[in-house]
């Protein structure tokens, strides 16, 4: 059975009268505004090393990663920390860590040298770092491994 659709009641004053042509113009205007607001220059740069780096791979020894790049890796799935100027991807280790994952997440994307040191980690823990190595800080961002840097007797080679 055919149904007859009645036209919407236009007698009621609507705060936002919608006309076909007007809505098309609005979409265009909105797009224009958005383009002006979201300037391509304001979009944050992607980290230089956005490609996956295999932790512990020999190439990691020569890879320079800045603190700005490291700060992008601050989540459970993608967690980097800096210990004694070296950068470690500990994403896979978070849940294996004897001290728990939460404590390490506090340092995600940041320097964890003093936290690591003050937790009294064993030599075994220091050795365990090797397999998570993804790079090293540039000389001007280092605190330890640079001429005149902080000297620690228990720092690994
Ligand atoms: C990122 C690399 C890290 C590695 C490879 C690592 C490794 C380990 C290992 C193997 C242990 C067992 C005890 C030992 O052998 O020393 C341990 C314990 C512990 N870790 Fe870490 N750790 C890391 C980072 C951290 C950080 C950043 C903190 C922050 C404070 C932390 C806090 C602790 C604590 C509190 C314990 C003692 C747990 C207990 O005895 O109940 N760790 N860690």
| Interval 140-151: pLDDT, tens | 999 999 999 998
Q: In terms of pTM, does the model score above 0.90?
A: no
So what's the pLDDT on residue 155? 83
Q: What is the pLDDT of residue 97?
A: 96
Atom of ligand 1 nearest to the CA of 90: 1
- Whether residue 18 is predicted with pLDDT greater than 50 in this model: the reply is no
Q: Residue 87: which H helix or E strand, with range?
A: strand 86-89
- Residue 154: what pLDDT? 77
- The residue whose C-alpha atom lies closest to atom 34 belonging to ligand 1 is 99
What's the complex ipTM? 0.87
Ligand 1: distance of its center to the CA of 154 in Å? 15
**Contact at 8 Å (CB) between 110 and 143?**
no
For residue 117, the CA-to-ligand 1 centroid distance in Å is 9
pLDDT at 42: 47
**pLDDT score for 26:** 59
Class of domain 60-141: alpha beta
């Amino acid at each position: 059975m055919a149904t007859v659709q009645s036209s919407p009641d236009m007698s009621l004053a609507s705060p936002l009268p919608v006309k076909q042509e007007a809505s098309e113009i609005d979409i265009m205007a909105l797009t224009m505004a958005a383009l002006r607001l979201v300037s391509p220059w304001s979009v944050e740069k992607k980290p230089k090393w956005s490609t996956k780096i295999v932790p512990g791979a020999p190439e990691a020894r020569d890879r320079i990663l800045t603190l700005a790049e490291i700060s992008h890796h601050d989540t459970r799935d993608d967690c980097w920390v800096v210990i004694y100027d070296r950068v470690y991807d500990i994403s896979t280790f978070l849940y294996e860590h004897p001290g728990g994952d939460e404590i390490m997440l506090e340092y995600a994307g940041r320097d964890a040298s003093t936290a690591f040191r003050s937790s009294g980690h064993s030599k075994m823990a220091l050795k365990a770092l090797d397999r998570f190595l993804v790079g090293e800080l540039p000389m001007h961002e280092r605190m330890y491994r640079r001429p005149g840097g902080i000297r620690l007797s228990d720092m690994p080679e």
